[in-house]
Amino acid sequence: MTMKIEDIGRAVRETQYAVRGPIVARAQALERAGRSIIYCNIGNPQSLGQRPLTWVRQVLALCEYPEVLASVPEGTFPADVIATAKRVLSESKHGLGAYTDSRGYAFVREAVAQFIRERDGIEADPETLYLTDGASKAAQAVLRLLIDDARDGIMIPIPQYPLYSATITLYGGAMIPYALDEKAGWALSRETLERAVEDAKARGVKPRAIVVINPGNPTGAVLHEANIGMVLGFAARHGLTVLADEVYQENLYVPGDKFVSFAKVLETRGLIDVSLFSFHSVSKGFLGECGHRGGYVELRNVPAPVRDELTKLQSVSLCANSVGQIVTYLMVRPPRPGDPSFECYDRERRDILDALKRKARLLVEGLNAVPGILCNAVTGAMYAFPSLTLPPGVTDAQYCMALLEETGICLVPGSGFGQAAETWHFRATILPPMEQIQAVVEQIAAFHVKFVAERAAEPEDEPVPRPAPRGRKITPA
């Protein structure tokens, strides 16, 4: 007899990940049937036409096939690309086809430490760095450490990136949602955090850690130093570990805004009693190397025995993929002014970030021009998360499915990220090329007006279940 679905663990069956959920599955089916689809559901830059940085791909090409180094005619690759490829090959000792240390290549961890020192002006220790298959695996490893049973509570923002809700469900922990204030530009307040902790304790959940995504996905909001200090003070008071998801640290769009890391605020405030795990990735920023699966987690104030457990966990899967580790190296060790590759690198970097900034504005302005759609400014990350006024009985999931069927635009309903009761949203990435963003906005506008008018005219049949009220366990659906 073959397996039945009931043979699968309950936690797996209950785990949901809307970013690649039923609407995306339908989009793929439509595409196979010949429809043209615009995938605005996921922050996957190169799938939407973003070109990889020449710097990254030239070094990788040489590292993957070192024979080229011996035979390539002079001038084919810039000298710094060749020197970097040679360094990678000599430091990695056996080339990229061999397993690495479980924590990742030592020379890459040292380069990441140097990147943090230069970014934040603080000390950083390669011994407290782990290279991972993207930030996802790092976050999952840390949650694995923290969750032992159903009373272990992890505070997550609402709305949040569903990696967190999915992983907490998978590991059998409890979500402690804390609401971001949409009307105040998705601000994070101490009162909300305190209330969330109280609610959790009242239902027998023990708060263990708090996840903060900065810049925010899906909100696009950027935290400033005072907010970060507030979160760290709150964590200290409640004995919480902090998980700082900083994968969008290069994606800031408001002139004058500067990314401030949790590590920097922790160190400058001398908070030695808060354990911090900070995540970064090669998938976002201006590299967009999602498929290469590179990233790292940095640990601060994490005692050696806990670090050893993390090392053990990493060693169970042997190591992160070697190419992703090298892409991480190339992210944290880019060409410097005066290097042969610098001009090209800098031009490509600026072109990508400038375009993202323009597209963020275009998308938000376009959406805000539609009656019934209200969108906060996208000040960071790669997404707009507007609220929708929908006729009674209609959900954002139904809206997104209907939009897909009619226009071929694939969005993720707000319910996939969690949202305040009585509100509906969708998430759209700002990544499609400029002309497509324009078309997306026009098509959404036309669809919205028609959809709302038609649905409002229909008699309401079955009552639609509303999202759980704030403060209760929210399982994104």
Ligand X SMILES: Cc1ncc(COP(=O)(O)O)c(C=O)c1O
In the complex with ligand X, the residue whose CB is nearer, 281 or 376, is: 281
- Min dist CB 213 to ligand X, Å, is 5
d(C-alpha 299, C-alpha 278), whole Å? 7
Using alpha carbons, list the distances in angstroms from residue 460 to 381, 390, 454. Answer: 38, 13, 12
Residues of this chain, 443-472, that bind ligand X according to CB under 6 A: none
Paired tokens of 348: 């490509």
In the complex with ligand X, the residue whose CB is nearer, 280 or 448, is: 280
In the complex with ligand X, the residue whose CB is nearer, 84 or 136, is: 136
Paired tokens of 303: 């005692």
Tell me the residue length of the chain.
477
What residue number has its CB nearest to ligand X? 134
Annotate each residue in 205-244 with x if it binds ligand X (CB under 6 A) or - if it does not, as one string. --------x---x---------------------------
Residues of this chain, 245-264, that bind ligand X according to CB under 6 A: 245, 247
Work out the end-to-end distance of the chain between its first and last CA atoms, rounded to an integer number of angstroms: 32
Cβ atoms < 10 Å from Cβ of 470:
18
Residues of this chain, 129-188, that bind ligand X according to CB under 6 A: 134-136, 161, 163
Residues of this chain, 262-281, that bind ligand X according to CB under 6 A: 281
- 107 within 8 A of 91, measured Cβ to Cβ: yes
* Selected binder of ligand X within 58, 92, 192, 283 (CB under 6 A): 283
d(C-alpha 271, C-alpha 287), whole Å? 32
| Count, residues near ligand X per rule CB under 6 A | 14
430 binds ligand X (CB under 6 A): no
* Selected binder of ligand X within 141, 158, 175, 290 (CB under 6 A): 290
Give the helix/strand (H/E) hosting 281.
Answer: strand 276-281
One-character DSSP codes across 307-372: HHHHHHHHHHT----HHHHHHHHHHHSPPPTTSTTHHHHHHHHHHHHHHHHHHHHHHHHHHHTSTT
Residues of this chain, 6-65, that bind ligand X according to CB under 6 A: 43
In the complex with ligand X, the residue whose CB is nearer, 163 or 420, is: 163
> Given the rule CB under 6 A, which residues bind ligand X?
43, 134-136, 161, 163, 213, 217, 245, 247, 281, 283, 290, 295
